[in-house]
Amino acid sequence: MVDWHGGETVFDHAFDDTEMFQLDQVDIPIEGTIRQLAVGNEVLAMIVDEPRQKNWEVAVYDLVNFKTILSRGKDDDVHKIFTDPTGTQVLISLENGENYHCYVGKMLDPKAAKCANLQGIVIESVGWDKLDVAGLCLLGDMNGFLHEAKFDKNGCKHRRQVCNLETKAPVTCVEIERFDTGNSLWVGSTSSSRLFQFVGGPTLEGVFANQRPPFLREMPGTHSDLTLYRKRLDQPPVCFAWCTQAGIMHGTMDFTKPQDSVLYSETPLLFDTTSSGHDPSLKGVALFEHYFILLYADRIQAVAQPPGLSWVAADGSHRLKPSDIKSRTVWQKTFPAGIHNEGRSIVRNLSTGRLHIVSKKCIYELLVFDNTHSNHTTWRMFMERGIDPNEKDRESYFPVALSLCKGDAKKTARVNQAKGDYYFDIGEYGLAARVYAATTTSLEATVIKYIKHGIPDALLSFVLQRLHFMQKRIASFRQEATQMCCLCTWVVQLHLAQLNQLTDNPVRYEEVQTDFHYFIETYIEYTDKATVFELIASLAKPEELLYFVELLKDYKRVIAQYVTHNKLDKALECLIQNCTSEEYEELWYQFSPRLVQHAPHVLVSGWMATGKSKTSFLKPPRLIPALMKYHIKYNPPDVRQNQAIRYLKWLVDERDNRDPAIHNMLLSSYAKQPSDKDLLDFLIQHRDDHCYDLKYALRLCLTEKKHRGCVHIYTALTLYEDAVRFALKTDDLELAKHVVESVDSKDVALRKKLWIVIVQHVVANTPGGVKKAIALTAESRVLELEDILPHFPEFTQVQDFKSDVCGSLIKYQQKTDKLMRDMERVSKTAADVNADIEQLKYGWSYVTESQRCNACMYPCLAADFVLFPACRHAYHEKCLLSRFKKALPDNDPKRRRIAGVEDKIAVLGPAAVDERRHMAWGELLREVLAEDCPDCGDLQIKEACLPFISERDNLREGPSWKVET
């Protein structure tokens, strides 16, 4: 922080940045003598005597310009000047009772104007309402009266007397403050030796209505000054100081709610005028939160305040000797020698909180920084008072000392160390542990200190607190990770030792157990998991071990512990609820064989639940060992369904599982059921698309004697005859018929063979088998009566099926007649075709000399051409050949024929060598080309499917059309 205009420091040595206080001279062009200063915001108003002109003037300095607003002779001497907190209004009071007002604002050349309604009042003090921008204030005059006034740009709008302090002495100071509620006001005023206060509202008139001046305190003196300290302008004051020649009365203030008095802990500090070294030249006092600023004629000093503003001399009295003040002085600066450099007054700028010190020739600004002097620090003084056994209320010194450290880590650590020592000395070991933990003191030294005094609980508290503070720093100081790990392991051991000692005290045991669990949850990431596991396991604490592995989410050990202690329900619950991701896949395979024998229904539901999720991770074939361990006797009484079949069926039907092992397992489970209904349904369902091994299924059905199942499997193996015989073995004629119907209808011979097997069985094993066998001929649609006659018994009488024989003969006669009619129709059609061919030999068409080729549009007669009589389209041979090559794909039969003929012609060589063969192959090529008109035949349809750009053109021209990005 620097001075306003590079003002020169006028003290005995330069300051460095470690000082809390710094005094800078304000660079103002002043030639006369400064009599008085008033400060508002950044505006300085002052009375300056001009000795050459024998007059005085009131000037305003706004950091840029120095403006004179009023100038008069010595005959009309000025009394005092005042500014409001905003620095926009200046009030000037003369000894003759005239008063002037000047609105500074943004005026280029402001001038003071006389206030007629203030005539006859010599103003001694002004109290402004800091939160009222309308210019409301209280004026204190020389006769003990208070006047309410209001100012604007044009001067004093109104003025009225509101109170008589009945002192007939000047009102030296007036202050107006508002309570936090906003509806009440507090007014404090002082005379030469008395302090008054008023409470009321919401207006000033309400404050003084029907009130006599409340006499509060009195100290001897001829002049007094009341100063208040606030942290910000928009906040109420927190403490006050009232200064007279006899001493200083100070205390705290409370504006939270309206009350008769806002002053608390008032303590009078009377100067011991009888002692040697007393300096009666105290010119003014300013107050900060922890300091008095005392202005003397030759120096300025900052004196520290103890907590609670309770300052007692060494002998226990409130009468302070200079030595008492000196012992608490944290900063002091001496003015240069000379009468013009003597301090005259101290003025506070309410807007900025800065202090201005006035001498005859100079104005100084006192800057207050956040840190303290490196050699003589206030925080150390408060700390030393806290550890001094002779001090009273020692504990209250430490919070102030900590606040004055301003976050400095080293200073804060020293104060906390002293505070911890204080608590330890008075026997508050728990509090001491919490304080010690926040310091950087040696961990080992503090631990040894507690061990020597035999305080295990406090020792544990200290280690826990130290871990807490180390945890906050661990992100930026990784070197502490090892120490934290060691401490965490030690705390675990301490907790386990306490649990071992408290087995006979269940209440205390539960408390320590809760603390231990909380510690493990909080610091588990800093522990060595394997070491802690071994510690807990070595002390045979299964509950703590289980809690620890659950916290680690080491579900393998959790489930193993449950299974070991036969808590299978909890093991199953842990497996289903927590092991729901791929990383726990092996745990399902490891523990399912044991759990399926305990609660198969719940376990299978868990399998199915993991399979329904999008991230299904279980591999069903690896669960087959668990399914092999299952038996329906493990089901609970209210569950009858086979759980192995339930899971396998769900895989096949719902999840569309195609694994042969799963299908074989399901088939095996079905085969072992008493009823073959489910087996047959499964075989029928997967008849056309089976994943199981057919040979294994057949062997299984033969072993379990599931003959109907064998029929379906033989059918799937296309062993139809064996399937029919197995169906007939079970006397299931319908099943045998179903097998025959599954044979391809085009394979008539096989179907007839199978039907004959059925007929043989019916004739041999069924009463009235002959009639039933004859009925089967109509049902089969492939057998005739003559096909089954050889299989009838040897002595079967014809009259038993005479009508059937006659019906068969009639059907043969009908077929013969139909065949004769078909032959006659075919013969007639052949004759018609021959006649049409004969007629085509004499067909003709003509070409005019102007007819053009439909491809190249040149005259047809210009070259060899092909004419299509039906549509009269004509093409040159070469044009027709080119069109066919372009339109037909390489794999087209006609394209291949054309290519074959061209290859033959190319092999023959020039036409002169073998003209006859050339003509023959050329005629063959023309016959191929003339088979179909390209505009009226199949070629036109094929061309509609061709792309606009052929593949050959695309390969040649495509790169030139590529767009570069």
What is the pLDDT, as a whole number, of residue 906? Answer: 74
Most confident of 140-144, 152-156, 650-654: 140-144
Q: How confident is the model at residue 910 (pLDDT cuts 50, 70, 90)?
A: low
Pairing mode, strands 145-152 and 78-83? unpaired
What is the pLDDT, as a whole number, of residue 308? Answer: 47
The answer to whether the CB of 918 falls within 8 A of the CB of 901 is: no
Q: How confident is the model at residue 190 (pLDDT cuts 50, 70, 90)?
A: very high
What is the pLDDT, as a whole number, of residue 171? Answer: 93
The CB-based long-range contact list for 692-695 (8 Å cut-off, 24+ gap) reads: 692/660, 692/663, 692/664, 692/666, 692/667, 693/660, 693/664
Position with higher pLDDT, 274 vs 99 = 99
Strands in 436-566 per DSSP E = none
pLDDT tens column, 644-669: 889 889 988 888 888 889 898 888 88
Distance CA 188, CA 177 (A): 8
pLDDT tens column, 548-607: 777 777 778 888 878 887 888 888 888 888 888 888 888 888 888 888 888 888 888 888
Residue 146 has pLDDT above 90, yes or no: yes
Calculate ∠ Cα 561-563-568, nearest 5°.
125
Residue 216 has pLDDT above 50, yes or no: yes
Helix (H), strand (E) at residue 207: helix 204-208
What is the pLDDT, as a whole number, of residue 503? Answer: 78
Coil/strand/helix, residue 965: coil
Provide the b/e sequence for 462-471 (b: ≥16 CB within 10 Å).
bbbbbbeebe
Residue 37 has pLDDT above 70, yes or no: yes
**Mean pLDDT value of segment 272-296:** 72
Distance CA 503, CA 499 (A): 7
What is the pLDDT, as a whole number, of residue 768? Answer: 58
Pairing mode, strands 873-876 and 363-368? unpaired
What is the pLDDT, as a whole number, of residue 640? Answer: 86
pTM confidence score: 0.48
**Could you tell me which residues come within 8 angstroms of residue 760 by beta carbon, excluding any fewer than 6 positions away?**
791
What is the pLDDT, as a whole number, of residue 732? Answer: 77
What is the pLDDT, as a whole number, of residue 756? Answer: 76
Q: How confident is the model at residue 247 (pLDDT cuts 50, 70, 90)?
A: confident
Q: Which of 245-259, 434-448, 863-877 has the lowest mean pLDDT?
A: 434-448
Helix (H), strand (E) at residue 469: helix 456-473
Position with higher pLDDT, 659 vs 951 = 659
Distance CA 640, CA 1 (A): 89
Residue 121 has pLDDT above 90, yes or no: yes
Residue closest to 727 by CA, chosen among 739, 718, 719, 736: 736
What is the pLDDT, as a whole number, of residue 374? Answer: 37
pLDDT tens column, 333-369: 888 877 667 778 899 888 887 888 988 888 888 887 6
Calculate ∠ Cα 700-702-707, nearest 5°.
115
Residue 481 has pLDDT above 80, yes or no: no
Residue 851 has pLDDT above 70, yes or no: yes
DSSP-derived secondary structure for 92-120: EEETTS-EEEEE-TT-SS---EE-GGGTT
Calculate ∠ Cα 234-161-225, nearest 5°.
50
Position with higher pLDDT, 421 vs 842 = 421
Distance CA 692, CA 697 (A): 7
What's CA 669's distance to the chain center, in Å? 51
What is the pLDDT, as a whole number, of residue 806? Answer: 63
**Mean pLDDT value of segment 295-313:** 68
Strands in 328-483 per DSSP E = 329-334, 345-348, 355-358, 363-368
pLDDT tens column, 484-527: 788 888 888 888 888 888 778 888 888 888 888 888 887 777 78
pLDDT tens column, 631-650: 888 888 888 888 888 988 99
pLDDT tens column, 385-432: 777 777 666 777 787 788 778 777 788 888 888 888 888 888 787 787
Most confident of 474-478, 653-657, 914-918: 653-657
CA-to-CA dists, residue 424 to 18, 307, 469, angstroms: 33, 22, 20
Position with higher pLDDT, 11 vs 378 = 378
pLDDT tens column, 62-119: 777 788 888 887 778 899 999 998 888 999 999 999 999 998 877 678 889 999 999 9
Distance CA 375, CA 384 (A): 15
Residue 709 has pLDDT above 50, yes or no: yes
Residue 235 has pLDDT above 70, yes or no: yes
Q: How confident is the model at residue 279 (pLDDT cuts 50, 70, 90)?
A: low
Percent of the chain clearing pLDDT 90 (strictly above): 8
Q: How confident is the model at residue 173 (pLDDT cuts 50, 70, 90)?
A: very high
What is the pLDDT, as a whole number, of residue 320? Answer: 53
Residue 180 has pLDDT above 60, yes or no: yes
Residues paired with residue 100 on neighbouring β-strands, in sequence order: 92, 114
Residue 155 has pLDDT above 60, yes or no: yes
